[in-house]
Structure 1
Amino acid sequence: MHIESLYRYPVKGLTPEPLASAALSPGRCIPWDRAFALAQGDAALNPATPTWVSKTNFMCLLRNASIALLQTSFNESARELTITAPNKQTIAANPLTPEGRAALTDFLTAWLGTESRTGPLGQRPAFHYFESHSFCDHQTQVLSLIGLGSLHALETAAGAPRDKRRFRANIYIEEIAPWAEFSWLGKTLQIGEATLRVHERIDRCAATTVNPCTAIRDANPVRELRENFGHIDLGIFAEVITQGTIRPGDTITLL
């Protein structure tokens, strides 16, 4: 088994960035993965003491399919986040500064239009970054892994291709049997120089209905999984135990 591809998602809900490598640290996600998010005005989020809250508090594909059309890149050296809309309208700002976050807030709320929500006291959406925090869907910082054998089994059952980007994994695994990763729960993986402990299967939601190329809800992987396999899971969450760098092509070994 090998890493077929490696990704991070700098802004929650927006497009992935392919990585040539990732330096992993114990108990942390991939650096800059889900580091930024646009909280809706009615979000149950306290910026003074940020803790995990569900994805529906934020701009997300579950509620906002059109954001799949926004192309995103983050230059961590320059501290510059660039977002480009299909009409070529672009913003480049520093998401680590109040001024940059304000500009990103304005850009994204304009894109959302009527899907932008205000709070009960008129609170506007706000673009956030909190040091050492990740806006991931899991309540602790983890990596998500999907075996391409499982994805291909879903495609065969559905009778149609299902772009892997619908499922927003950090690591896609090649040369693996369908659903083999489900047998790894509680076990340890060696990947490159790092070790990870597998915690749980990933249950899927309606965000996967969104086609990442068109932003149209044109498939229902949750229903396809349930009807064909008796569950709604695709992929696993794993926590970094031992630090190290991982790369596409690295061997994955079950210890």
Structure 2
Amino acid sequence: MRIETIYRYPVKGLTPEAMGEAALRAGRAIEWDRAFALAQGDCGFDEAAPAWRPKTEFLCLARNIEAAALEARFDPDRSLLTLVARDGAALDANPLTASGREAIGGFIAAALPTAMRGVPRFVHVGDEHSFCDHDGQVISLIGLGSLAALSAVVGSPREKMRFRANIYVEGIEAWAEFGWIGRTLAIGAARLVVVERINRCAATCVNPGTGLRDANPVKELMTHFGHVDCGVFAEVVTPGRIGVGDAVTVMS
């Protein structure tokens, strides 16, 4: 088994960024993964005491299909977040400053007015918090064999980016990753303990290319396989650098 692709999602609910390699840190998500989020006006997130909140309190594809129309790119070397709307409107701003976050929040609210509830806040609280759907800092992995099995039974491709994983693994049997729960994965010097399966939500209904809801993978998974899970969450226990093409080994 090998890593086919690696992605991070700097802004929760917005577009991914492909990575050739990543430096994994113990107890942390991939650097800058879900580092930023747009908190809806009814969100209970407190920057002074950051704690996990349900994804529906933020801009998210499960509830806000409009988010698929907004492209996000983050350059950590320049501390610069670039947002581009479908109509060509664009913004460059520093999301690590209060003024930058205010500008970004205003841009997103103007670009996606129908997705807003109340007065939104663009939030970031540093390395100690990730706006992941999991209540801890984790890395998500999906075996491409599982996606191939789903595509085969429904008779249509189910694009991998519907599932917004960090690492996609090739050379693996369908659903084999479910057998990794409680086991340790070795990728180079890094070690990851697989903690649980990922149950899927309505975000997977959104076609990443068109931005339209054109399928229901949650229903398809339940109908054909008796569960709504696709992929697994893992926690990094030993740091190390990983890259596309690296072998993934399940340790005994």
**Matched residue, 2:248:** 252
The answer for the alignment partner of 2:213 in structure 1 is 217
Deviation string, structure 1 residues 22-72 (Cα, Å, up to 9, x no partner) = 101110000000000000000011121010001001000011112112111
Q: Deviations over 1:167-200 (max 9, x none)?
A: 0000000000000000010000001220000000
Moved more, 30-39 or 83-92: 83-92
> Any conservation in 1 of the 2:68–2:208 contact (CA below 8 Å)?
yes
Which residue is 2:22 aligned to? Answer: 22
Q: Which residue of 2 aligns with 1:185?
A: 181
SS in 1 for 2:112: helix
Structure 2: any 5+ residue segments left out of the alignment? Answer: none
Q: Secondary structure at the match of 1:60?
A: coil
In the alignment, what sits opposite 1:121? none
Mapped to 2, the partners of 1:204 and 1:220 lie a distance apart of 10
Equivalent positions of 1:49-128 (< 5 A) are 49-118=49-118, 124-128=119-123
Moved over 6 A (4+): none
- 2:236 is matched with 240
Is 1:153 aligned to residue 138 of structure 2?
A: no
The residue matched to 1:78 in structure 2 has which SS?
coil
SS in 2 for 1:56: helix
TM-score by length of 2: 0.98
Write out per-residue CA displacement over residues 186-240 of structure 1, whole angstroms, 9 at most, x where no aligned residue: 0000012200000000000011000111111100000000000000000000000
TM-score by length of 1: 0.97
User: What is the rounded CA distance, in whole Å, between the counterparts of 1:223 and 1:81 in structure 2?
Assistant: 35
Unaligned runs of at least 5 residues, structure 1: 119-123
Q: How many residues align?
A: 250
* Distance in 1 separating the partners of 2:75 and 2:143: 29
SS at match of 1:32: coil
Residues 69, 213 of structure 1: 8 Å contact kept: no
Deviations 1:89-148 (A, max 9, x none): 111100000110001000111122132111xxxxx1100010121000000000000000
Q: Percent identity?
A: 56
* CA distance in 2 between partners of 1:114 and 1:161 (Å): 30
Cα distance in 2 for partners of 1:198, 1:91 equals 38
Amino acid at match of 1:130: V
In structure 1, distance between residues paired with 2:32 and 2:115: 26
